[in-house]
Chains A and B, each alone.
Chain A
């Protein structure tokens, strides 16, 4: 028996094995390296890119994709996909704005927006687990329905004049330092850390904790890794999937609030194709569309790669059309590298 079950040659014993970079860690490392190379490249190409102000702009821009990407990661790890996040983002933002217009306090209205997102996620989850509709189709349906509802409710017109309080989440910043100059104009000493970036950091840490340290996280991985095995082991796979879709919907709702707050306008046509950015962020970060693999930290790196690509290409004056081509190629490249790695 010993010769049959002898540890594979070249494999370090347990204490060392945890230090050895496994495949997922290598992927994340290479993604991180790509991110740093991008930053270095753009910094050389443009003076304005490598500045505190621009860094904060990138943070702000990435926060929406990051929030969507975290929810998407949970769903992708279970072996599913959520195509509805862009539309749910719009519906939630519109819902919040309508509540604000109706006189509901901003905080409560935003909670309502998140709840609308969670409800959309719950419908996704129930259609996937109860009606056994494949996630691609179920969430494609929700993508159309949520967008349609957002457009119908608003008559396709943006809701504006939402007041200063509505804009605070998207435009406010912590530790912002402004000094009044003798000439009467304010001078910004430090622009502060934008609230959306802080929100993203909190959500990312929370989601990572959930995946690593809580039972539901373990079950999310198990469900995506081998659904039948998870079920036979007593994992309630339907509840686990439902949880992932609800989280994805709620985070889309939160992202919707952030985005609409930043614009201080609720746009029912906002967030089109955002689901693809979210999927790209997760995949670049090492999540596997066949399930069982993915991390929040990886997705964060993926989200920043996309955010920095967009920002840097903008700064370099590259057209939006070329940007699409570049990001599309990056997604394919990331998956290709991943597959090459797994094949060997």
Chain B
């Protein structure tokens, strides 16, 4: 790939006291690429994603977007650079309705600076209908919606704006099979539009189904970055658990190449 990466993270470090949550990790992402980010709970992957989302400030390292160095002071900066995040917790304000959540922090306004709730409702209706034609409860507080509907709002919020990079933290963990299939379709669709996606997941099936590459973190360090065709599920499991590939990996790979 000769293009400029959408995002480069170079030598990122994050410490909490003496704990190295992210230990000199570098990662890049190209347009139209889906990269699976794997690892145990506490391996540092969520931390790394939060740094890219602007929700956490690294102690060291550099982030480049389209080749240009950036510094994210808060999530607004990352979103302005086209980096959107779907958090595992969904990050929804329970008492507000779907349009208010969709546009939270980026409210549409009238010329007078008033909230343009009518337009936000209309736009929400459109983007939600694209994800789920049956979505109707637009004026209910999101606390009264089902897990799937809440997930749809979180996804809609991440794709409505001019998104270039999408971070998805366990997007299917709370979903049933049919909804999971919908998310998978959506990922392929976004990929075709040239959006780069970082998919944090525990679901090996999803990862092998959707990703072009996998990166594996273990105890804060990046222990492997491989094209999806270079590794088997067992190889990836070994990276996650032991932090290294099985001993016979290079031999097997050599065989496969021949």
Contacts and interface: CB of A to CB of B under 8 A. Distances in A.
Interface in A20-40: 22
Given A11-B137, A214-B113, A292 B132 contact: no
A232 B76 contact: no
B85 A232 contact: yes
Given A5-B132, A231-B55, A218 B104 contact: yes
Interface in B63-88: 74-76, 79, 85, 87
A231 B93 CA distance: 10
Interface in B86-118: 87, 89-96, 100-101, 104-107, 109, 113-115
A223 to B, nearest CB: 8
A266 interface: no
22 contacts: A1-B178, A2-B133, A3-B178, A4-B146, A4-B179, A5-B134, A5-B148, A8-B144, A14-B138, A18-B139, A22-B141, A214-B115, A218-B107, A218-B115, A224-B95, A225-B95, A229-B90, A233-B101, A233-B104, A235-B105, A292-B93, A292-B95
Contacts, number: 118
Interface in A222-254: 222, 224-226, 228-236
B74 A234 contact: yes
Tell me the dominant secondary structure on chain B's binding face.
loop
B178 A218 contact: no
A60 to B, nearest CB: 33
A213 B149 contact: no
A224 B75 CA distance: 19
Contacts of B157: 233
Question: Which 10 residue pairs are nearest across A and B when measured between Cβ atoms?
Answer: A234-B105, A225-B93, A229-B91, A292-B95, A233-B104, A234-B76, A225-B95, A1-B178, A233-B105, A222-B93
Contacts of B173: none
B140 interface: yes
Nearest to B135: A5
A4 B139 CA distance: 19
Interface residues of B, number: 47
Contacts of B138: 14
A1 B114 contact: no
A288 to B, nearest CB: 9
A230 B93 contact: yes
A14 B96 CA distance: 15
Contacts of B105: 219, 230, 233-235
A298 B94 CA distance: 20
B197 interface: no
